[in-house]
Chains A and B, each alone.
Chain A
Amino acid sequence: MAELGVPVEVFSIVPVKRSHSVCAQGGINAAKDLKGEGDSTWKHFDDTVFGGDFLANQPPVRDMTEAAPGIVDMLDRMGVMFNRTSEGLLDFRRFGGTLYSRTAFAGATTGQQLLYALDEQVRRFEAEGRVRKFEHWEMLSGVVDSNRACRGICAMDLRSMEVRTFPADAVIIATGGIGAIFGRSTNSVACTGSAQSALYQQGAYYANPEFVQVHPTAIPGEDKLRLMSESARGEGGRMWVPRDGKNWYFLEEWYPKYGNLVPRDIATRAIHKVVYELGLGVDGQPAVYLDLTHIDAKTLDRKLGGILETYEKFVGVDPRKEPMKVFPGMHYTMGGLWVDYKHRTNIAGLLAAGECEYQYHGANRLGANALLSCIYAGRVSGTAAVEHVQGLANGSDSVPSTVFEREARQQQELNDNLLKGQGTENPFAIWKEMGAGMTEHVTVIRNNDKLKKWDEKLVELLERSKRINLSDHSRWANQTLVFARELGNMLQLARAITLGALARNESRGAHYKPDFPERDDQNWLQTTKAYFAPDADEPRFVYEPVDTSLMPLRERKY
């Protein structure tokens, strides 16, 4: 947009350079076929749609996979330190869900490098006065006028706590994932989904909330779940739990053919069963062993050095000598704000791009496709936003100031009420309960009775969240207040996820119901669109057919 000469204001909770995308390690997909394997963008398209269990609209997925090689080239020109071949070309590696070497990578820190490259370009525009950054500002809501058009945002300075509106002719939301709704996840702290939720409560559709990706092997931590790469099992790692005083290699017993290398969703479900149904978690905790100790330390260092160091650094235990403790961890949301093919939400002037929207991954995302979709969506939404601005008959300056004042006042009141609150509830405690329940009932295995009960509990938590007593009443850099606000939004979105899962009586991709174990294309080849019913204070659902015009359906079997 800045390139097209449109003035841009960027808002971010954390300095942009510290955003969650830095956590992505693996890489970014683009079918450049530099390994002579006969890969093509069509095959990339096929893998993505198939991997997503046919729930993604196909035309935008095709367009994204076609744009991918150009996107990787652009990142390369921005100076990303991608790994190279001996000829100095980009190197590619293989990732899950494909047979081709399609993933460009920069060591084990690809997401960090990509984010930095983009951040540097923005910094350049900033130095040229074409972009203005508001870091340490949190968007609280959209400013929506009487014609249901978005005319700007309301945001809060996280230091002075000042609440202010910012008029805009178009707003693009790129607020990332929702991990915090599940308590601990592989996501960063700022990934609360609070912005998405606020907009959903203001009338934006939220699509496919029930599709949540869980990674089988994360390192459980008090503060977060850190990813443990699949390569540990690839190199011979075995998973077990103690049972009757012996090591029980449950994956090897249940799946003799694939053993420890069963696909992600199967491994995840098996671990869940061992811990929650059989109650065999290590030390009574939700954890199982991933054991490498039978492999000699030298081999391990050569093949898995980096990831073993991470484990050692954060757990303080040497995985060469003691088995690692791992557990599936909430990792990614396929669902997000509903957008059309140009990334416009159903609110005019409001667009969304990145993990916060739902467009490309259907019922399950393939590794190294997220970064690609974020950048591609950023491009499409940027162009569409400029188009929208140019087509506007009346800009945001024509909107009566009362529209802005009302929104700012409402948000300020929310703060004031929280600061005055004399209840007994602690927001961190409510958050913990929400996270634990979401993880137990709404991740790997879904059961209608439990989902129903859990939603009742969420309603109760929402009630309790209205009786919060902040332990911090100050009006400067009050992180507790910020968190309490986010908590309310998280709870609302948690209900959309839970009830979305309850409604979908089938199993597809990451959504699995033992009572409905099959994919049901007859009834459920549909995008879920959740909308918020303000009077009832709850989510409602409508469904939209999926565009499968390019590739016929087939059974998802690897």
Chain B
Amino acid sequence: MSADRTVEIKIKRQMTPDGPSRWETFRVTVRPAMNIVGVLMQIAENPVTVDGKATAPVSYDANCLEEVCGSCAMRINGRVRMACSSLVDHLQAPIRLEPMSRFPVVRDLQVDRSRLFEDLKRVKAWIPIDGTYDLGPGPRMAPREQEAAYPFSRCISCGSCLEVCPQYNDGTHFVGAAVVGQVRLFNSYPTGKMNAYERLEALMGPGGIHECGYAQNCVEICPKEIPLTQAIAEVGGQVMRHALFEFLKK
């Protein structure tokens, strides 16, 4: 085996939500198939910067380590990526790590993405079942419809699509592509359809789907390759039809 190879890591540190931020540089030994979580674990074992200064381990969120829990999104070399599936060998050194910019920083690379979950409440992203007692089988669903809907059920709420969305900010309150994708999902389930109007109405108000500027960054960045622009188009159509229908009823 060759001698230990190292790589330089620059990390944007911020101890508290409204404290100042600064950059620190570390040097880590590269191991085979090492990912960014591996880098952060190595730093935690010996948190000393390249200048030999002892510092605190870097705070970050991670859980599954296989790109399915959505915890570990952060900016890596300026682009939002999942830390657990970002391999050191595929990144240009020195590697720069920063927290996502569209969410409040908790500490270091940890951010507060609770707004995303609040927005899921806003659009009622669930099937309002009668109860959990045994009511027999669910509705039948054509395999084709299941296959079309399935990709949307894989959204890990990482927030990457929101990070790159020019419209996702306090000005517009746009719910963002992930939430629209969930509306697409629930509106296509046979019993979810029954309450489609509630979700559509939620998307008609402030922060609704009309805020989308169709920049299409979301679909390119999504680590789960969810067809987000398709969802926006479909749900946009549903919203329009619903609005028209409501208008004609008056």
Please report A residues at the B interface, Cβ cutoff 8 Å: 3, 14-15, 17-20, 22-23, 70, 73-74, 76-90, 106-107, 109, 112-113, 116-117, 120-121, 123-124, 126-127, 135, 159, 188-190, 221-224, 226, 283, 310, 313-317, 379, 426, 428-429, 432, 471-474, 476-477, 479-480
Contact = CB atoms under 8 A, between A and B. Distances in A.
Given A226-B66, A428-B41, A476 B138 contact: no
B126 A124 contact: yes
A88 B59 contact: no
Contact of A106 (B34, B120, B150, B156): B150
A287 to B, nearest CB: 10
23 contacts: A14-B61, A14-B71, A15-B157, A18-B64, A22-B68, A22-B156, A79-B191, A84-B140, A84-B141, A88-B143, A89-B137, A89-B140, A109-B68, A120-B120, A123-B120, A188-B64, A221-B65, A224-B65, A226-B65, A314-B85, A471-B54, A471-B56, A472-B47
B54 to A, nearest CB: 7
Interface in B87-141: 87, 89-90, 106-107, 110, 113-114, 117, 120-121, 124-129, 131-132, 134-141
A516 B72 CA distance: 45
A226 B215 CA distance: 35
A15 B71 CA distance: 9
Interface of B: 1, 15-16, 31-35, 37-38, 41, 44-47, 54-57, 59, 61-71, 84-85, 87, 89-90, 106-107, 110, 113-114, 117, 120-121, 124-129, 131-132, 134-143, 146, 149-150, 153-154, 156-157, 185-186, 189, 191-192
A17 B45 contact: no
Nearest to A428: B45
A316 to B, nearest CB: 5
Contacts of A479: 57, 59
A514 to B, nearest CB: 32
Contact of B63 (A18, A116, A226, A472): A18
Nearest to A121: B126
A123 B126 contact: yes
A120 B125 contact: yes
A126 B45 CA distance: 39
A77 B138 contact: yes
A226 B70 CA distance: 16
Nearest to B142: A88
Contacts of B132: 3, 74, 121, 379
B140 A87 contact: yes
A223 B41 contact: yes
The 6 lowest CB-CB distance pairs between A and B, nearest first, are A88-B140, A76-B138, A120-B126, A472-B56, A70-B134, A477-B107
A120 B183 CA distance: 13
